[in-house]
């Protein structure tokens, strides 16, 4: 979980003991939505990825900041740790990651992420939880698949948005596309995690 229930008080939200299970469920759901959009864990963990070794010198890894690389194997063979350097966003190797004409499959096991959830991510998570909590207090979630874009009084008429941001959010746990892109750019790197250890 990216935040604890007590964090909601920092944003002016209190809840009754009877709402604890709902709050915990909302926090788990919001944390999952944010992590899924990021494409990797945000909090510190060990992961393993597999990627094709190319000629690039810097191999961007998901889950920045990269804190430690435990091992890198090229087609199963251990790569000497003295031949590469760990950077905050990946691993640098002067001769690149390809082995001559062959492009090996690299398996990288590494430790990455933050010890504490970054403040802006805490705020995003708390905002989603509070929106969900307010919706649950008001009798449940209405699917928000369109918003009023205009209304006329003479010969009464209403128009609802049917594309773009106006229809994107379905529940308080859904993130807008621009937020998902920003999270993936910030945390996702250029490859995907295949296994968290």
Q: Give per-residue pLDDT as tens, 100-153.
A: 768 899 999 999 999 999 999 999 999 999 999 998 888 766 555 455 555 556
CA dihedral 35, 183, 90, 118 (to 10 degrees): -70
Give 80 or 169, the one with higher predicted confidence.
80
Distance CA 103, CA 54 (A): 6
Distance of CA 56 to the CA centre of its chain: 25
pTM for this one? 0.76
User: Residue 155: its pLDDT value, please?
Assistant: 65
Q: Give per-residue pLDDT as tens, 21-66.
A: 999 999 999 999 999 999 889 999 999 999 998 888 999 999 989 9
User: Residue 190: its pLDDT value, please?
Assistant: 53
Say yes or no to pLDDT of 98 above 70.
yes
User: Residue 139: its pLDDT value, please?
Assistant: 75
Mean pLDDT of 82-103: 89
User: Residue 152: its pLDDT value, please?
Assistant: 58
b/e per residue 98-116 (b: at least 16 CB within 10 A): beeeeebebbbbbbbbbee
Half-sphere exposure of 107 (CA within 13 A, CB side): 9
Give 163 or 58, the one with higher predicted confidence.
58
């Amino acid at each position: 979980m990216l935040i604890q229930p007590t964090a909601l008080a920092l944003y002016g939200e209190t809840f009754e003991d009877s709402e604890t299970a709902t709050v915990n469920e909302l926090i788990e759901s919001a944390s999952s939505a944010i992590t899924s959009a990021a494409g990797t864990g945000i909090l510190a963990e060990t992961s393993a990825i597999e990627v094709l070794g190319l000629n690039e010198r810097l191999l961007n890894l998901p889950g920045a900041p990269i804190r430690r690389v435990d091992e890198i194997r090229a087609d199963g063979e251990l790569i000497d740790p003295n031949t590469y350097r760990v950077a905050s966003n990946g691993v640098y190797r002067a001769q690149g990651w390809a082995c001559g004409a062959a492009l090996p499959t690299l398996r990288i096991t590494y430790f990455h992420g933050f010890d504490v959830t970054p403040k802006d991510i805490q705020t995003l998570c708390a905002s989603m939880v509070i929106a969900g909590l307010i919706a649950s207090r008001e009798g449940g979630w209405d699917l928000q698949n369109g918003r009023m874009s205009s209304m006329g009084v003479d010969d009464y008429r209403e128009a609802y948005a049917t594309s773009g941001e106006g229809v994107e959010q379905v529940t308080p746990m859904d993130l807008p596309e621009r937020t998902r892109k920003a999270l993936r750019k910030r945390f996702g790197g250029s490859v995907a995690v295949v296994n968290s250890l």
